[in-house]
Amino acid sequence: MTSKTTNRTGFNSLYQEHHEWLVRWIAKRTSSADNAQDLAQDTFIKLLNKPMLYDDMRSPRAWLTKVAGNLMTDQLRRQVLERNYQSMLESMPESDYFSPEEQLELLNLLEQIDKLLTGLKAKEKKAFLMVRLDGMSYKDVASELKVSLSSVEKYIAKATLQCYQLVYFDS
């Protein structure tokens, strides 16, 4: 039996043994049974895209819950971004609205930025966004956040380094 056949057999077995359990696990943590089905499918797709032998997994449920939990977090993060974006649109005059294509592109860009800044402290993230998106000076950011100028410099350096590392070394 080839490695590819072994992987397929192992994946099928893993799916059959754990799919229903995973859907129930996700459903307890989300608001919709349909959403639980979708997230379970996405979880198994992530596993399917990993070149590994499924029979060798020591704790398949631990792996599945970790991946599903990450997917739920990503989904919640996107929902928050979408709500905030919708709020921003509602506050704009209709003449300034973006086209649907531009809206989708902007929302995807916001999601990418949010992922890049995940793990930073709130002040670090806010300082970075104030400088990079709002075009504020470090001095104005320091005043707004009620921190020293050197703190702002450290926040920006840390956020920039994190973005750089994720873009160029975490692919």
Q: Is the domain of 8 the same as that of 89?
A: yes
Residues 94 and 23 reside in one and the same domain: yes
Distance from C-alpha of 81 to C-alpha of 104, rounded to nearest angstrom: 12
Q: What are phi and psi of 10, to 5 degrees?
A: -65, -40
Of 152, 134, 135, the C-alpha closest to 143 is: 152
Rounded to whole angstroms, the Cα distance separating 116 from 162 reads: 7
Same domain, yes or no: 93 and 127? no
> CATH number of the domain that 126 lies in?
1.10.10
Residue 20 token pair: 């229903």
Q: How confident is the model at residue 53 (pLDDT cuts 50, 70, 90)?
A: low
Measured CA to CA, the distance from residue 63 to residue 56 in angstroms comes to 12
For the stretch 75-87, pLDDT in tens is 887 787 778 777 8
pLDDT band at 169; cut points 50, 70, 90: confident
For residue 1, the model assigns a pLDDT of 45
Same domain, yes or no: 41 and 93 = yes
* Domain finish residue from 69, 99, 129: 99
Reply yes or no on whether the pLDDT at 3 is more than 90.
no
| Alpha carbon 12 to its chain's center | 27
Tens digit of pLDDT for each residue in 95-112?
777 788 887 888 788 788
Q: Which two tokens stand for residue 143?
A: 């005043």
125 is a domain residue: yes
Residues 19 and 56 in one domain: yes
